[in-house]
Structure 1
Amino acid sequence: MAAQFSFFDIIWTIFIISAFLPMLKQQHLEMQRMRLIRAIEQKRRSRLITMIHRQELLSLLGLPLTRYINIEDSEHILRAIRYTPPDMPIDLLLHTPGGLVLAAEQIARALEKHPAKVTVFIPHYAMSGGTMIALAADEIVMDENAVLGPVDPQLGNYPAASILETVRLKGIEKVDDTTVILADISRKAINQVEEFVHYLLRGKMGSEKARAIAHFLTSGRFTHDYPITSEQLKLLGLPVRTDLPKEIYSLMELYPQPSQRRPSVQYIPLPYGRPDRDGKR
């Protein structure tokens, strides 16, 4: 005898499928990532670590969650470095707007201490703390349009350098005690970050050149989201290349942004050849 399904049963079945389908898709995506990561590792004979901060969907709610460098990231990366033999190169794929200075410094210091070669891949951007991590690498491989950013400290919503400049322009006698305290913290923060960047770079170049680059990146001469291109980085003397492996692009595609009802960017996702005389491809 055929089973009878009520309207409520159908609705409940659809709800169950809708609840579990994203989980199944995520598991499949994770398996694809692991296979490609392992393929890249075997090709380069290295350990590949990824730190990719995109907006992701929260469980069943579909709410976007913006990610930044945090202590959990540093714990995972430090553990991965400990698992890596001293003579095995490390590749780090970075895609991040930055984040907590403490976490970024921990990651950068651990990479700088690794005996074998460390390469950082940047397909799009690595700003602020991401730039600090990239500076710890023996080699930075970027897309030709990818960018790094300044590493000048920020106190809350304000750049530390701007707080100091405000006190200088107004005079210390015309600002309140809170601003004076912030200025003192700002000065310490800038000095601390500049010293750390100098520490990361001095082994790759002379101390004087490392100091100049550290001051360039930390002094607040640019806004915090100023894009520093590969051409500028090369002029500074940093070990930068722009021949990013195609496998890195493929891996980035496995970390998609959450889907929207109407995408803000659309194109036919196929490589085009050059058009012939009739305009055909």
Structure 2
Amino acid sequence: MTNHRKNLLQELEELRGTKIICYIGADRQSISTRVAPDIIPVFYKHLVSLGPVKKLDLFLFTKGGDVLTALRLVDLIYEFTDQFSILVPYKAYSAGTLIALGASEIVMNRTGELSPIDPNVTSIFNPQDPLNSTARLPVSVEDIYSFFSVTKNLGIVNEEAMVQVFLRLLDSVQPLAIGSLYRSYLLIKDVAKKLLIRHLDTNFEEQKINDIVEKLTKKYFSHNYLIGRKEALESLKLPIIYSSGLLESKIWSLYETYEAYLDLDKPYSPELSADQDGHFMVSCGVIESLHLADEYIFKGVLEKDSSDTIRNVNILEQGWLRMDGDVQTKSRQW
């Protein structure tokens, strides 16, 4: 961790009166890090290092990932604190939004964004991509839901007609693909409810919990819909805290250090960072607390022909790596 980022993190901890863990998953073109099970042991080491604390903040930037990892991470965090908050400088999409649902407060900058949590499933049973014979088209809940909504709006409501509509759907989408999508949909709803129950009383707020889950899984018409803090507070009724003044400035400044370090706003081209032998190394994710730092590292080599034209990019190693001393400063070198 650079001294500048360490100072910003320390100042933010003092301003918030909490301990903070930062989780940044790069979303660069051609290289990214998703919420996945391998973050759990990394987070555990940071949480053990911090020890049980009264309040803990997670500084979060991610475009999403594994649903069950989101639940597991929140459960793990609550083993070390009773008051868990999320800091959202910018993107906390999909599984990132699920993680936020488990927090008792969500501190959002004006640039902060959440997203729907509806499943978008791609499997071997999905329709084939007409532009790529080896690829499958994703199927989303919105697609299936909207398909049947259109038929009802056209007045097709009797049972026999609906059966024919369903059979036409099966001409394009295999039954197993629809089954997989529905199972994922039920899983996400269940996970979202479990996360909200962490800080909402089901005896008094069961309807609120159901409304939040229903909106996030079905009421938005695109998985790419972006939810700002005003909508998250007023429409979804989430426990949103508006950051402002010095707090907003510190949150954004800390985010900018990660944006610059990981080149979040730039596509990645391994040929530009490779050495003369074609070896390259790049960091595309960070989990940091004040005294510990881990990065997700890709190591690879460019395969070239006799004319020095790149034929292939081979990834030799990837995973989370503890950064100590000067190692971090070498993360873009072989």
| Fold match by TM threshold 0.5 | yes
CA contact (8 A) 1:112 1:136 kept: no
Pick from 247, 250, 255: which aligns with 1:247? 250
What is the RMSD of the two structures over their aligned residues, measured on CA atoms?
2.9
Q: Deviations over 1:211-232 (max 9, x none)?
A: 1111111126321110112111
Pick from 86, 90, 99: which aligns with 1:120? 86
Partner in structure 2 of residue 80 of structure 1? 46
CA contact (8 A) 1:111 1:136 kept: no
Q: Confirm or deny that 1:173 pairs with 2:172.
A: no
CA contact (8 A) 1:161 1:186 kept: no
> In the aligned structure 2, how far is the partner of 1:210 from the partner of 1:117?
19
**How far 1:129 sits from its partner (Å)?**
0.6
Other structure's SS at 2:2 match: helix
Partner in structure 2 of residue 227 of structure 1? 226
CA contact (8 A) 1:78 1:107 kept: no
Partner in structure 2 of residue 162 of structure 1? 143
> In the aligned structure 2, how far is the partner of 1:234 from the partner of 1:222?
19
> In the aligned structure 2, how far is the partner of 1:209 from the partner of 1:66?
34
Q: Confirm or deny that 1:137 pairs with 2:103.
A: yes
Partner in structure 1 of residue 20 of structure 2? 48
- Relative distance call for 1:114 and 1:191 in structure 2 (3 A) is farther
Higher RCO (Cα < 8 Å, 6 or more apart): 2
CA contact (8 A) 2:142 2:221 kept: no
* Code of the aligned partner of 2:231: Q
Larger Rg: 1
> In the aligned structure 2, how far is the partner of 1:35 from the partner of 1:211?
41
Structure number with the higher strand fraction is: 2
Pick from 187, 191, 194: which aligns with 1:196? 191
TM-score, length-scaled by structure 2:
0.60
- Relative distance call for 1:195 and 1:102 in structure 2 (3 A) is closer
- Relative distance call for 1:30 and 1:231 in structure 2 (3 A) is same
**How far 1:86 sits from its partner (Å)?**
3.5
CA contact (8 A) 1:101 1:129 kept: yes
* Code of the aligned partner of 2:255: M
Q: Deviations over 1:163-208 (max 9, x none)?
A: 4665896644341596211111211111111122112223425112
CA contact (8 A) 1:167 1:183 kept: no
> In the aligned structure 2, how far is the partner of 1:97 from the partner of 1:162?
21
**How far 1:100 sits from its partner (Å)?**
2.0
Unaligned runs of 5+ in 1: 1-28, 57-62, 262-281
Partner in structure 1 of residue 296 of structure 2? none
Q: Confirm or deny that 1:187 pairs with 2:205.
A: no
Identity rate of aligned residues, in percent?
Answer: 23
CA contact (8 A) 1:111 1:137 kept: no
- Relative distance call for 1:237 and 1:113 in structure 2 (3 A) is farther
> In the aligned structure 2, how far is the partner of 1:123 from the partner of 1:260?
18
> In the aligned structure 2, how far is the partner of 1:193 from the partner of 1:44?
31
- Relative distance call for 1:152 and 1:112 in structure 2 (3 A) is farther
CA contact (8 A) 2:27 2:62 kept: no
Alignment size in residue pairs: 227
> In the aligned structure 2, how far is the partner of 1:199 from the partner of 1:146?
24
Other structure's SS at 1:50 match: strand
Structure number with the higher helix fraction is: 1
* Code of the aligned partner of 2:224: D
